Amino acid sequence: MNLSHLLNARRAAGKPVRVSLIGAGKFGSMFLSQVPHTPGLEVPVIVDLDPERAREACRTVGWDAERIAATSFVTDGAKAIAGNVEVVVEATGNPAVGIRHARAAIAAGKHIVMVNVEADVLAGPLLADEARKAGVVYSLAYGDQPALTSEMVDWARATGFHVVAAGKGTKYLPAYHDVTPKDVWGHYGLTAGEAQSAGMNPQMFNSFLDGTKSAIEMAAIANACGLDVPTGGLLFPPCGVDDLPHIMRPKDKGGALEKSGVVEVVSSLERDGRPVFRDLRWGVYVVLEAPNDYAADCFRQYGLKTDASGRYAAMYKPYHLIGLELNISILSAALRGEPTGQPHGFRGDAVAVAKRDLRAGEMLDGEGGYTVWGKLMPAAASLAAGALPIGLAHKVKLKNNIAHGAVVRWSDVEIDANDETVRTRRAMEEKFRGAQL
C-alpha cells in the first residue's frame, strides 16, 4: 500500500521506472493507456510484430505525438530487453515466444512480468526458479485473474484463515468445449463483422469460451498458491456471490467440492442457460474457513455471508481490469522486489483434449482453435498419462486417431525433441515432478 509513494520518490530522484512492453494487443494497450497518467513510469520501447499497429494502439489510448515520437517501436524483443529498462512485460500470448523472452530478461538481469499465462503454465515453475537464482523477479500480471486470486489467497492465509477454495467466475456451459472460432461470436452476442471491426481475435476469444483459458488460469493459481486441482477437471458449478460459502465447500459439508484446498471456476449460467443471480463472471473469489467459534461469530457480527454452519465464508472481487491494473506488478517488482504471484511448484497442468474425432495426419491448432481445448488436470495425473500440454498443441501433426473428448498424448503427435520449448517443458517436468509447496 505504498507503491505510489515509492514511485514518487524515484521520480523525485530522477530515476523513473523504465519498462519494455512486448506485445501491444488488448492487454498491452490497456496498460499503455495508464502510462501518461503515472508520473515516474516510462515505456521507452514497445515490441510488436507490426510496429505501425503498436503506434496506432498508442494513438488510440491517448498518447500524444511527442510521447509517441520519443518511443522506439521495434520487432526484436531481444534488443528491447537488452536496453535501458528495469522491467520487461511479456504480453504476446505465445508460449514459445514468452519462454524465450522470459529467459532473455532473466539473463539480462531484468524483472519479468508474465502476462503470458500460457507460457507460465507450460514452464513457469522453472522460469520462476531461474529468476530467483538470478536475483530478479518473475511475476504473474496483476489485473489478470491469477494474480488477483493469488493476492486474495495470500490475504486469507496471512490473516490466519484456511483456504477452502479459490478461483474466478466465467460464462460456461458444457457445450462450449466444442465451440470453434467459426461459431464463437454468437455466444458473445456479436456478429463476425462487429468483432472484426473491433479488432477482436476469434481464436483468442474462443479460448475464453471453450474452457481453455479457465484451465490455464486455474493451473497458474494452483502452482502459485499450492492449491490442489480437482481430480476430474474443473466442475464449473453455477454459483452467485451469495452462494459461494454454500457451494464452494467440500461435499461432506454439503458443497460441490471433492475436498478442501482446491481451485475452481464458477459459472455465470445455470445449466439450462438461465443467468445466475448475482454472478461472478468478471471476478475472483476465495472461500475461507473460520479456525474457531470466535472467528465464526465475528463473521456473523460483521455481516459476512456464510454457509448455514457459519464456519465457511467468502471474499470476492467482482471485477478485474486486466491491463489497467498492470502497474501494480511492474512497480511491485521494481520498487519492492516482490512478485504479485509466482509459481513455486507444479500442481496443475492444462492438457489438450479433442473437440471432435481427429484423424492421423491432422494438424493441431492450439488454444481456442478448431481441434482441441485445454482441460485442467492435476500435474501428477498429467505426467502419468503422458498428456500433451495445450501450450505445445500448436502446429503439430497427429500420428494417431483421437476420439472426441479424449486427451491427446505426447505419443500421439510428432514432436521435435530438440525444440527449445519442448526441452524447457521437459526440464520443468523433471525438476518439479512431485514438488509440493
Per-domain boundaries in the chain: 3-143+323-336, 146-172+211-225+240-319, 348-432
Contacting residues for 92 by C-beta, under 8 A, at least 6 apart: 22, 23, 98, 101, 116
Grid cell digits, residue 11: 521520480
Average pLDDT in the 353-369 region? 97
Location of C-alpha cell 483434449: 353
Average pLDDT in the 142-171 region? 97
Residue 197 has pLDDT above 90, yes or no: no
Please give the share of the chain, as a percent, with pLDDT higher than 70. Answer: 99
Integer Cα distance of 105 and 138 in angstroms: 10
Backbone angles phi, psi at 189, to 5 degrees: 70, 30
Contacting residues for 179 by C-beta, under 8 A, at least 6 apart: 187, 206, 209, 210
User: Hey, what CATH topology would domain 3-143+323-336 get?
Assistant: Rossmann fold (3.40.50)
pLDDT bin (cut points 50, 70, 90) of residue 435 is: low
Integer Cα distance of 161 and 422 in angstroms: 39
Contacting residues for 246 by C-beta, under 8 A, at least 6 apart: 254, 255, 307, 308, 312
pLDDT bin (cut points 50, 70, 90) of residue 205 is: very high
Which pLDDT does position 1 carry in this prediction? Answer: 75
Q: Which tens digits make up the pLDDT trace of 43-68?
A: 999 999 999 999 999 999 999 999 99
Q: Which tens digits make up the pLDDT trace of 158-167?
A: 999 999 999 9
CA angle (217 as vertex; 155, 208 as ends), nearest 5: 130
Q: Which tens digits make up the pLDDT trace of 285-303?
A: 999 999 999 999 999 999 9
Do 192 and 200 form a contact (C-beta atoms < 8 A)?
Answer: no
Q: What is the largest CA-CA distance in the chain?
A: 63
Q: Which tens digits make up the pLDDT trace of 79-137?
A: 889 989 999 999 999 999 999 999 999 999 999 999 999 999 999 999 999 999 999 99
Helical ranges in 255-331 per DSSP H: 293-301, 327-331
Which pLDDT does position 201 carry in this prediction? Answer: 86
Q: Which tens digits make up the pLDDT trace of 381-434?
A: 999 999 999 999 999 999 999 999 999 999 999 999 999 999 999 999 999 987
Do 24 and 56 form a contact (C-beta atoms < 8 A)?
Answer: no
Integer Cα distance of 390 and 393 in angstroms: 5
User: Hey, what CATH topology would domain 348-432 get?
Assistant: Type Iii Antifreeze Protein Isoform Hplc 12 (3.90.1210)
**What are 251-258's contacts with CB under 8 Å, separation 24+?**
253/307, 253/309, 253/312, 254/307, 254/308, 255/307, 255/312, 257/164, 257/165, 257/230, 258/230, 258/231
Average pLDDT over the chain reads 96
pTM of the model: 0.96
Integer Cα distance of 67 and 75 in angstroms: 19
Residue 378 has pLDDT above 90, yes or no: yes
Residue 437 has pLDDT above 50, yes or no: no
Average pLDDT in the 336-343 region? 97
